Amino acid sequence: MSYLKEFKAAASRTKKLNLGEFAVAETPFPIDQTILNAVEETGHIPFTERAGKAMSVNFGMFHMLSKKFHIPGGIITMGNVSINNEMRLPVTPTHFKKMIKNKTGEEEMGSYHLWTTLPGGIILDHVMPSALHKDGIMTVNEAIPAERFLHGQADELPHGLTYHPMILGLEFFIASETIDREAMEYLMGEKFPKQYE
């Protein structure tokens, strides 16, 4: 199944859970490589320490992309990633429903992966290259910002990578009690981004 089909299924699932309505534009929105490199260089967690820290790294990068660099159309996406058809994490759509029902988001942050979906089904992920480098699946030159993140068409990624979106958007973090609404409103509101000025 193509990434955009899986994304649409995740959007439908998210809507049924009353967590918002999402659609990604099917035409890619090109982002200049210098902006992508600038987002990467703004990250505060060193490359070698990113593996397994998708929430703190990719959420932070999503925030900078939307609030500092004002790149439109990005959607925070949660799910699983497979390498050569082998899933890296044990999460399923039912898992996300249970996290919402049981309010266990904070405890279960490491059970799923998150990344940014950009228009056209483009993936932006600042964690997976660190994990793959650590596992010896790929070699990364840490001195080159563009090698420290993954940016590409989801259906054409290297290393046998396939992303599987299962739930979308920031509201999931609130509903699962990963983060409270007041903190999310502060982070994504107009006051917090002034740090970037």
Higher pLDDT, 190 or 64: 64
Structural domain total, the chain: 1
For residue 94, give its domain range: 3-20+33-196
Sequence-ordered alpha helix ranges (H) in the chain: 3-16, 33-42, 54-63, 93-102, 128-134, 171-175, 181-188
CB 146 within 8 A of CB 40: yes
Is residue 165, in this structure, part of any structural domain at all?
Answer: yes
Q: Is residue 189 included in any domain, yes or no?
A: yes
Is 28 contained in some domain?
A: no
Both tokens of 121, joined, read 């089904």
Q: Is residue 89 part of a domain?
A: yes
Q: Does residue 87 lie in a domain region?
A: yes
Residues of the chain above pLDDT 90, percent: 79
pLDDT of residue 47: 94
Alpha-carbon gap, residue 99 to 114, rounded angstroms: 15
pLDDT exceeds 80 at position 50: yes
Q: What was the pLDDT predicted at 94?
A: 96
Q: What percent of the chain stands above pLDDT 70?
A: 97
Place 102 in a pLDDT band, splitting at 50, 70 and 90: very high
Is 86 part of any domain?
yes
Inside any domain, residue 25: no
Predicted confidence band at 17 (pLDDT cuts at 50, 70, 90)?
A: very high
Q: Sorting pLDDT into bands at 50, 70 and 90, what band is 197?
A: low
* Mean predicted lDDT score pLDDT of the chain: 93
The two counts, helices (H) then strands (E), for the chain are 7, 6
User: How far apart, in Å, are the Cα atoms of 144 and each of 98, 133, 188?
Assistant: 40, 14, 29
